Amino acid sequence: MSRGGGALLRLEGVTKSFGTTPVLRGIDLAIARAEFLTLLGPSGCGKTTTLRLIAGFETPDAGRLLLEGRDLAGLPPYKRDVHTVFQHYALFPHYDIFENVAFGLRVRRLPQDEVAARVREALALVKLSGFERRLPASLSGGQMQRIALARALVCRPALLLLDEPLGALDLKLRKEMQLELKSLQRKIGVTFVYVTHDQEEAMTMSDRIAVFNHGRLEQLGSPAEIYERPRTAFVADFIGAANVLTAQEASGLFCGRLKGEGPVAIRPERIAVRYHQNGGPAEGTLRLNARLLDNVFLGNSNQIFVEALGGAGKRLMALSMDGEHRQPRAPGSPLWLDIAAKDILALDA
């Protein structure tokens, strides 16, 4: 993955407000060629605005967008080598599928036989050959989504923007389409910038994830980096589940046994719950006294809610795949929590 000068698209200090509401507060982001980058965050975090800025539907208040080193300022959407798959597909209802997919090619005045060949190829790519003469209204949501994808890809854009394209599909179809989209992106090697608020979707598909919150880029990294090394409490909490402890709570609970002094996060599956003290904790492991609050059976795992004793006390959640925890125990039972020091993730204050 090329970085820096080789980036396909660079955002430099991009700022945007709607009226007096700041939506983006200085975004710096470099998108590499052929990567699958996901903009992830809760609604109102600025991810869709970022996408619309790249597409050209909005203009930044400050900062620059550079596509292959060329400043996009002043370029209308129809002059950008960037195409979008819209959230509600936006297939033209008065054109059949062939004409929908051919729309961008006709704009480019390609010869008729090339238009036909490329439409056929694009429909084959999304596995909807034979749908040429159907109208969009006669398609299912999943089919419309594929046609929207074919329509955008047929023009071979440098960059494809996808605005929550799976949002309107049911869960099962969404899961299928996630894997399909990812393998399609690998096959054709087009750069995808994908917007979603679904962290699982982001984890499934992305090469890198950019986590947005309140108009800021909180963290940028591979799914594994983001999960294993969250930088802020927001990222730790938004991606996967996490027990987030403030600096005060952490120092109270661990009584200075930690290296840093800031807030920390602990993944629930990294907390080992023990009902017997049997010897001391292993090397490099910290042990906390706690009592059981609740134990929820989830099928393949158990969610164990405990209250750590010491300091001001703190409710924690642990996740265990261990069969031992299937045995119901009375709330209030004493137990011990073993946490490896390396699993106590230091966060930015």
Q: Which is nearer to other proteins, 134 or 274 (CB)?
A: 134
∠ CA 319-324-326, nearest 5°, is 70
Separation between Cα atoms, residue 235 and residue 272, nearest integer Å: 23
Least separation in angstroms between CB 140 and other proteins? 19
Least separation in angstroms between CB 106 and other proteins? 9
Least separation in angstroms between CB 31 and other proteins? 18
Q: Which is nearer to other proteins, 135 or 173 (CB)?
A: 135
Residues near other proteins (CB under 8 A) are 55-57, 76-79, 82-84, 86, 88, 90-94, 103-104, 107-108, 151-152, 155
User: Taking a C-beta distance cutoff of 8 angstroms, is the pair 285, 338 a contact?
Assistant: yes
Q: Which is nearer to other proteins, 55 or 347 (CB)?
A: 55
Sign of CA dihedral 152, 157, 163, 167: positive
| Surface-to-core class of residue 99, CB atoms within 10 Å of its CB (0-12 exposed, 13-18 middle, 19+ buried) | middle
Least separation in angstroms between CB 275 and other proteins? 57
Cβ atoms < 10 Å from Cβ of 151: 26
Q: Which is nearer to other proteins, 86 or 336 (CB)?
A: 86
Least separation in angstroms between CB 45 and other proteins? 21
How distant, in Å, are the alpha carbons of 100, 147, 340 from that of 92? 6, 11, 56
Separation between Cα atoms, residue 276 and residue 111, nearest integer Å: 77
Q: Which is nearer to other proteins, 163 or 249 (CB)?
A: 163
